[in-house]
Structure 1
Amino acid sequence: MQSQEIRKQFLSFFENKKHTIVPSAPMVIKDDPTLMFTNAGMNQFKEFFLGNKKPKNTRLTDTQKCLRVSGKHNDLEEVGKDTYHHTMFEMLGNWSFGDYFKKEAIQWAWELLTEVYKIDKEILYVTVFEGDDKEGLGKDIEAYDIWKQYISEDRILNGNKKDNFWEMGEQGPCGPCSEIHVDIRSAEEKAKVSGKELVNQDHPEVIEVWNLVFMQFNRKADSSLEELPAQHVDTGMGFERLCMVLQGKKSNYDTDVFTPIIREIETITNSKYGKDENTDIAIRVIADHLRAVSFAIADGQLPGNTGAGYVIRRILRRAIRYGFTFLNEKDPFIYKLVDTLENQMHDTFPELRSQKGIIENVIKEEEHSFLRTLDQGLQLLDNVISNSKSKIISGKKAFELYDTYGFPIDLTALILSEKGYDLDTEGFENELQKQKERSRKATKIETGDWHVLIEDDEEEFVGYDMLHTKVKITRYRKITSKKEGEMYQLIFNLTPFYPEGGGQVGDKGYLEAPNGDVTYILDTKKENSLIVHFVKNLPDNLEAVFEAVVDTDSRRNTAANHSATHLLHQGLRSVLGTHVEQKGSMVSEDYLRFDFSHFTKVSAEELKQVEEFVNARIREQLPLEENRNIPYQQAINEGAVALFGEKYGDTVRTIKFGESMELCGGTHVKNTGDIWHFVITYESAVAAGVRRIEAISADGAKQYFENQSEAYDKVLEVLKTKNDPVKVITSLQEENAALKKEIESLQKAKAKGLKKELRNGLEEVNGVKFTAQKIDLDQGALKDMVFELGNEFKNLFVLFASENNGKALLTCYISKELVAEKDLNAGKVVRELGKYIQGGGGGQPFFATAGGKNPAGIPEALEKVKSYIL
């Protein structure tokens, strides 16, 4: 059975059990501060488990693209080394929210595996939670008794808390689970050791294929458990592992999920899979990581230096490094595999086709960049080895290569081993742990339990229509971070405060109590479906009715910038072409930032055209046409632009200004005239095929023009003119050019006189014509002079020092004949003497310079230089 059919049968099976099929959520998470990536199928349904929102359908099923490379669920270092771990994988799941529970979940899982997929019952084992005394939890007898109806008791195994009690995180919904394991070993191997002895023992052919989680409890901040008001089912089955079982393979990588990619890797790299362990690991790493990186980029996450972007860059660099070391690939090649991946999976995940060009270009540029880093790292490692007085290279040096230059530690260890050196692995690990601890302390947030004041089904956002309203606090909790200290999060029954999302910053403002006391709202964010308001201190009377007031000026300017962003998007598509797609944005009250797909630098003329396009729409005073509850497909059919990487519901909100129409949840002006004016301030590259524009509007544009006007007035004042400053500046430039020529002429004349003095003042030391002195001459004239002297003397060694604007400069010239005969090196001389002027430098063996910040050290440098020829 082909993988496409396996996926289809799973979804059809649960659809027939009255489940609604839902699409995969983006792999990159936007509104959950506890997660960077979707790492389990339940992530997109987290708000239902938490009770923050009620699902429209209580039974759902899907295939979810997941990524496990950070935090608690981190399989990265295992990937490639075995045959069943992955970074990116699909998780098939079925869900019940307060509907069916253990009986149906177990019954249907067994029915699907044994009757639909026809898996032999004799190769299956199941586990149930054995209980935990510390938690005060007994064995999951309910699940055990249900399983007895389908499988012999000797195949029902007890599992401990680690394996059979699933938790979403340190806090939140959790519960016992039943895992279904499959034993695909040969008959001979099964005769030697029973499969029950190998369950959960990391055996590559006795593996977990499906996990049925029964959400019964909520983990509180103090680690205690409380019963959830409703019981839920959360299941996850590894699609790649299921394909391995159903296709009769011993490795996920031997299924048709991976074989097309592996064949293409073999062709491109002229390698063969299945012949050599190191080659096989490298090919598996590349095949897996290609999928992870491609899906992440398609969902809008580009490789970067921080956060989620750094994780994606690290995955891609791991693939490049394996290709570099074990497949001898010194040029970019991974980007060439995107075509195969897209052909294979675009039916299920159409974003791979629509974003293919961006994916290929970003990967190719990252490959170029990291291959340059590898070359640099190899040179640095050679320096470390040559300067080492021991056969053991310090872990601190290796960590510096890893942390500062991105040089992989396993590659460092491999090269050292080949050269007969050992790595101080313990020292490296100590440095790595120190860094992790610093990072953890800097980012760790301690979150308390919610204190519920009022039971409220769902918080209502009213901020599109009003900037102040009466509210009640329904719940609150304390959070503590190193950066912000103690703060509180408040939830209201309704709120006018817009939460950070869709690129737009969160609102700020204040709560006013009946007695006039004010509590300032410092920020507003969205955590799943909750709108969370941040305050430094709690109001005195939490049960009062408050007046919630949004900062009007901040909202007005933010709305202007957000509407300007939509017009900018339209303008870019009009001027550059319809290939332009939004790849990210940031909208605040001060400015807007817009990332978009485009493969060349936007010219000054094109930027001018885009700017004029937007300002023309502003002058037209186009009214806002808003529809808040339009079916998603209808909005798309009517021409609304949807953004890749965003998750949309069944109904959406459309924002339209003239011909510009986008799906958007942000705040906007009522008329484009309210934007006032639009100014592009910056354009640059973000990644291969992605450009960035920064711009201002409204009060920001007004302030810009006021600053420009003020600067213009100062220019007129400095130039002592009331008009036509260009004419005055042109005249000054001509005068300056003439003065420069005169100075150059004077410097040459001065150098000519100095050269005569120097020639006559050269002393002979051990057969070398030598002088060392301080000279007041610009660098260009000085260089010309020493080379002229060098043409006259074949045994010349000179060091000149000069001082300019509080800085010291050393210039050393050594005749090439002396460099060869006496093993002298001008670069080495200036580097060593540079310490006296608190600086450094270098150059060629016959000519080099050094600069420093301590002119007082010049005399000592001039004195020490003679030692090189004594």
Structure 2
Amino acid sequence: MKSQDVRKQFLDFFESKGHTIVPSAPIVLKDDPTLMFNNSGMAQFKEFFLGNGTPKSPRIADTQKCLRVSGKHNDLEDVGFDTYHHTMFEMLGNWSFGDYFKKEAINWAWQLLTEVYKIPKENLYVSVFEGSKEDNVPFDQEAWDIWKTLIDEDRIILGNKKDNFWEMGDQGPCGPCSEIHVDLRPEAEKALVSGKSLVNNDHPQVIEIWNNVFMEFNRKADGSLEKLPAQHVDTGMGFERLCMALQGKTSNYDTDVFTPLIEKVEQITGLKYTSDAVKNISEEQNKVNIAIRVVVDHVRAVAFAIADGQLPSNTGAGYVIRRILRRAIRYGFTFLNTKEPFINKLVEVLADQMGQFFPEIKSQQQLVTNVIREEEASFLRTLEQGLQLLENVVAETTGKEVLGAKVFELYDTFGFPKDLTALILKEKGFSYNEAEFEVELQKQKARSRAASEVSTEDWNVLIPGNVETFVGYDKTENEVKITRIRKVDSKKDGILYQIVLDNTPFYPEGGGQVGDKGTLVSANETIEIIDTKKENNLILHFAKQLPENIEAAFTAKVNTDLRTSTSKNHSATHLMHLALRNILGTHVEQKGSLVNPNYLRFDFSHFSKVSDEEIKQVEASVNAQIEAQLQLVEYRNIPIQEALDKGAMALFGEKYGDTVRMIEFGDSKELCGGIHVKNTADIWHFKIISEGAVAAGIRRIEAITGDAVKNFYQNQENTLSEIKETLKNPQDILKSVASLQDDNAKLKKQVEQLLKEKVSALKTELEKDFQEVNGVNFLAKQVDLSMASTKELASVLGSSKANSFVFLASIEDGLPNIHCYIAKELVTSKSLNANAVIKELGKYIDGNGGGQPFFASGKGKNANGIAEALAKAIEFVK
């Protein structure tokens, strides 16, 4: 059965059982601060389990893109080494929100597996929760009794808390679960060892394929359990593992989910992948197999993350994506001999394969390809740089063991993988101190944990069952009551309080717009609200202190100055988006946005620099729309299809409900939940202040509106006045500046000529001062030159004699600099290294530096140390 059919039959089956089929949520989460990525099928439904929202249907089914590479669920380091772990995978799931429970979930799971997919019953085992005295949760007798009617009792296994009690984190919804495992071993093996004994023991052919979670508890901060308001069903079936079972394979990578990608890698590299069915493969072939598995798995994760709007970067979710991609590049570099970008060539295969069900990968194919290609090229350059740095480290090493701290520096600063370092060192007859490396790694992890450590207390619920309403589109001030509060303590922000209100005018951070600030005012006190965010459908108001009387009546007041400035920038973002599409082309799509009171930042897809003329056209277009005094037209809670029919633009990577809010200013029509001006005239004026690249195919514009533009032009005017005054108030300021530039260019040429003459004269003079030491022509001097000229002189002097060792120092702007030239024949014959010389002698001037083994330079802070550095230089050749 083809994988496309497997997915379709699952959804068709549950649709026949009254389930509403919903699309996969984006793989990157934007409105849940507790998770970077969708790491399970249930992540997008958390608010329903917590009772903070109502689903469109009590029965839902879908296939969800999941990513497990961070936090509690992290499979990254397992990927490639076995045949069933993945970074990105599909989770087939059916859900009941307070509707059916164990009986239906178990019976339907069995019916689908055995009657629709026709998996032999004798290949299946199931597990139920044995209970937990610690949590005061009993043995799941109900699930056991249901399974007894479907399967022999000797195929039912009792599972402990680790295996059969599912929790999404340290806190939150959880409950006992019943897993279904399939035994895919050959009959001969089954006859020797019972599959029952291999369940949950990491056997590659006895694997869990479906988990039925009976969500009925909430884990509190103190570890205790409380009953949820309703009983829910949350199931998840690994799509890739199910395909393996149904296609008669013993590896996920042998299914048609992965074989098209593997075939493309084989075509590019000229290497062959060996199926898991082949036994006794060589160690070299096994390394190739692992590398190919890593590449084809990781390209899926990275491609879908980029398609959903998460670009590789150096922080947060972007760093995780970059790390996954770099792991794939490194495996290709080391074991597939790929020294040029190649992973980007797999995107076309992936888009053809999965584009029908996940249209975002098809529509974003060009962008994804470009971003991956650029990332590959960049990291391959880093690998080359790392190789050179490693050469320097080896040259500086006494003995055959490199310091673990040096290897960690390569890893931490340059992203150079430790196992690649180990491989290269081994080829040179070296090793490194792994224990020392591990110490440095643990120090870094401890620093990282300390920086991000957060302790969250349970909610203190004051008004149970209240459904919070947002009134901020119409009001900036409203009478409110506090419905719940909790304390959050983090290393980053200290102690803060999260306050939930029965209704609120405060806009929570979302859609690129920052959260509102303001105050809560009662008869006796004023509490400052420093930020507003949304989590699991609750609007959280952040404060540094709680009111003395939390049950008092309050007036919630938004800071209208900040709100007004923010709304101007948000509306201008919409107008600019339209202008960019009109001027650059309809390929322009929003890829990121930040809207705050001070400025707007807009990332968009475009494959070349936006020219100065195009920038002017965009500015003119937006300002024309401002001058046209376009009235805001707002549609609230309209069906999403109706909004799309009206011409609204939906953004990839955003999660939309069945009903949406649509914002319209003339021809600008977008789905948006943010705050906007009532008329474009309120924006006053629009000015672009910068444009540049963020990643391959992604540009970024920063712009300002309103008072910020007034301040910008006032500053420009002040600067112009100061320039005029400095130039003695010339009649024609441009002519005066041009004349200065001409004079400066002439003087520069004269200075360069004088410096060349001075370097030439010094060369002639200093050549007499060379002395022979152990067959080396040695020279160490301080000269009166700039740093650049001293560097040039060292190179010229070194090249003038064979077997030369030149060490020069000078002072520029009060700061010392040093330079070392060593003839290449000495680098080889006497193992001299200019990089090591600079690092050692740099200590005397309180500085450091580096370079190549034959030439290196450094700078310092202590000019008084030059004499001692010059005196010590000769020791290298004695």
Q: What interval of TM-score do these two structures reach, taking the shorter chain for normalisation?
A: over 0.9
Task: Give the total of aligned pairs.
Answer: 868
Give, as a single letter, the amino acid of the residue that structure 2 aligns with 1:640.
A
Q: Give the drift of 1:224.
A: 0.8
Distance 1:783 1:424 in 2: 36
In structure 2, do the counterparts of structure 1 residues 404 and 789 end up closer, same or farther at CA, with 3 Å as the change threshold?
A: closer
Query: Which residue does 1:458 correspond to in 2?
Result: 467
Q: Secondary structure at the match of 2:215?
A: strand
Q: Give the drift of 1:376.
A: 2.2
Matched, 1:157 2:157: yes
Conserved? CA contact 1:265–1:283, under 8 Å: yes
Give, as a single letter, the amino acid of the residue that structure 2 aligns with 1:321.
R
Distance 1:203 1:820 in 2: 53
Pick the aligned partner of 1:836 from 835, 838, 844: 844
Q: Secondary structure at the match of 2:24?
A: coil
Matched, 1:583 2:569: no
In structure 2, do the counterparts of structure 1 residues 229 and 713 end up closer, same or farther at CA, with 3 Å as the change threshold?
A: same
1:313-338 residue CA offsets vs partner (Å, 9 max, x unmatched): 11111111221122111111111111
Q: Give the drift of 1:719.
A: 2.3
Distance 1:796 1:327 in 2: 42
Conserved? CA contact 1:105–1:212, under 8 Å: yes
Distance 2:830 2:159 in 1: 76
Distance 2:453 2:605 in 1: 35
Query: Which residue does 1:62 correspond to in 2?
Result: 62
Q: Give the drift of 1:740.
A: 4.6
Distance 1:151 1:825 in 2: 73
Query: Which residue does 1:600 correspond to in 2?
Result: 608
Matched, 1:718 2:726: yes
Within-5 A mapping of 1:309-388: 309-388=318-397
Q: Give the drift of 1:67.
A: 0.7
Structure 1: gaps spanning 5 or more residues: none
Distance 2:207 2:521 in 1: 58
Query: Which range is displaced more, 191-200 or 801-810?
Result: 801-810
Distance 1:749 1:167 in 2: 76
Matched, 1:514 2:514: no
Query: Which range is displaced more, 721-730 or 584-593?
Result: 721-730
Q: Secondary structure at the match of 1:602?
A: coil
Give, as a single letter, the amino acid of the residue that structure 2 aligns with 1:84.
Y
Q: Give the drift of 1:845.
A: 9.0
RMSD, aligned CA: 2.9
Give, as a single letter, the amino acid of the residue that structure 2 aligns with 1:482.
K
Q: Secondary structure at the match of 1:803?
A: strand
Matched, 1:493 2:502: yes
1:99-118 residue CA offsets vs partner (Å, 9 max, x unmatched): 11111111111111111111
Query: Which residue does 1:446 correspond to in 2?
Result: 455
Query: Which residue does 1:627 correspond to in 2?
Result: 635
Within-5 A mapping of 1:194-593: 194-274=194-274, 276-515=285-524, 517-593=525-601
Give, as a single letter, the amino acid of the residue that structure 1 aligns with 2:579.
G
1:668-697 residue CA offsets vs partner (Å, 9 max, x unmatched): 111111111111111121111111111111
Q: Give the drift of 1:414.
A: 3.2
Distance 2:593 2:489 in 1: 29
Q: Give the drift of 1:180.
A: 0.7
Q: Give the drift of 1:34.
A: 0.8
1:415-454 residue CA offsets vs partner (Å, 9 max, x unmatched): 3444444444333333322222221111111111111111
1:340-399 residue CA offsets vs partner (Å, 9 max, x unmatched): 111111111000110000111111111111112222223333443444345444433332
Query: Which residue does 2:107 correspond to in 1?
Result: 107
Within-5 A mapping of 1:637-716: 637-716=645-724
Query: Which residue does 2:26 correspond to in 1?
Result: 26
Q: Give the drift of 1:173.
A: 1.1
Q: Secondary structure at the match of 1:343?
A: helix
Q: Give the drift of 1:756.
A: 8.4
Conserved? CA contact 2:395–2:833, under 8 Å: no
Give, as a single letter, the amino acid of the residue that structure 2 aligns with 1:306.
T
Query: Which residue does 2:176 correspond to in 1?
Result: 176
Q: Give the drift of 1:605.
A: 2.0
Query: Which residue does 2:278 correspond to in 1?
Result: none
Q: Give the drift of 1:264.
A: 1.4
Q: Secondary structure at the match of 2:42?
A: helix
Query: Which residue does 1:189 correspond to in 2?
Result: 189
1:102-136 residue CA offsets vs partner (Å, 9 max, x unmatched): 11111111111111111111111110000111112
Give, as a single letter, the amino acid of the residue that structure 2 aligns with 1:365.
E
Distance 2:589 2:113 in 1: 43
Give, as a single letter, the amino acid of the residue that structure 2 aligns with 1:562.
H
Query: Which range is displaced more, 708-717 or 545-554?
Result: 708-717
Distance 1:821 1:5 in 2: 67
Q: Give the drift of 1:412.
A: 2.6
In structure 2, do the counterparts of structure 1 residues 310 and 812 end up closer, same or farther at CA, with 3 Å as the change threshold?
A: closer
Q: Secondary structure at the match of 1:175?
A: strand
In structure 2, do the counterparts of structure 1 residues 212 and 754 end up closer, same or farther at CA, with 3 Å as the change threshold?
A: closer
Q: Give the drift of 1:795.
A: 10
Query: Which residue does 2:13 correspond to in 1?
Result: 13
Conserved? CA contact 2:590–2:651, under 8 Å: yes
Query: Which residue does 1:50 correspond to in 2?
Result: 50
Conserved? CA contact 2:633–2:664, under 8 Å: yes
Query: Which residue does 1:166 correspond to in 2?
Result: 166
Q: Secondary structure at the match of 1:715?
A: helix
In structure 2, do the counterparts of structure 1 residues 659 and 709 end up closer, same or farther at CA, with 3 Å as the change threshold?
A: same
Query: Which range is displaced more, 422-431 or 253-262?
Result: 422-431
Q: Secondary structure at the match of 1:41?
A: coil
Distance 1:674 1:59 in 2: 46
Query: Which range is displaced more, 572-581 or 397-406?
Result: 397-406
Conserved? CA contact 2:730–2:736, under 8 Å: no
Q: Secondary structure at the match of 1:635?
A: helix
Conserved? CA contact 1:504–1:666, under 8 Å: yes
Distance 1:691 1:410 in 2: 35
Distance 1:60 1:232 in 2: 12
Q: Give the drift of 1:753.
A: 7.9
Distance 1:686 1:145 in 2: 58
Distance 2:659 2:574 in 1: 20
Distance 2:801 2:779 in 1: 13
Query: Which residue does 1:852 correspond to in 2?
Result: 860
Q: Give the drift of 1:257.
A: 1.2
Query: Which residue does 2:277 correspond to in 1?
Result: none
Q: Secondary structure at the match of 1:328?
A: coil
Conserved? CA contact 2:24–2:65, under 8 Å: yes
Query: Which range is displaced more, 389-398 or 494-503?
Result: 389-398
Using the aligned pairs only, state the percent identity: 65
Give, as a single letter, the amino acid of the residue that structure 1 aligns with 2:375.
E
Give, as a single letter, the amino acid of the residue that structure 2 aligns with 1:502.
G
Give, as a single letter, the amino acid of the residue that structure 2 aligns with 1:22.
V
In structure 2, do the counterparts of structure 1 residues 747 and 164 end up closer, same or farther at CA, with 3 Å as the change threshold?
A: closer
Q: Secondary structure at the match of 1:147?
A: helix
Conserved? CA contact 1:456–1:474, under 8 Å: no
Distance 1:15 1:188 in 2: 39
Structure 2: gaps spanning 5 or more residues: 275-280
In structure 2, do the counterparts of structure 1 residues 549 and 863 end up closer, same or farther at CA, with 3 Å as the change threshold?
A: same
Distance 1:428 1:842 in 2: 23
Give, as a single letter, the amino acid of the residue that structure 2 aligns with 1:563.
S
Conserved? CA contact 2:392–2:852, under 8 Å: no
Conserved? CA contact 2:572–2:686, under 8 Å: yes
Give, as a single letter, the amino acid of the residue that structure 1 aligns with 2:209.
V
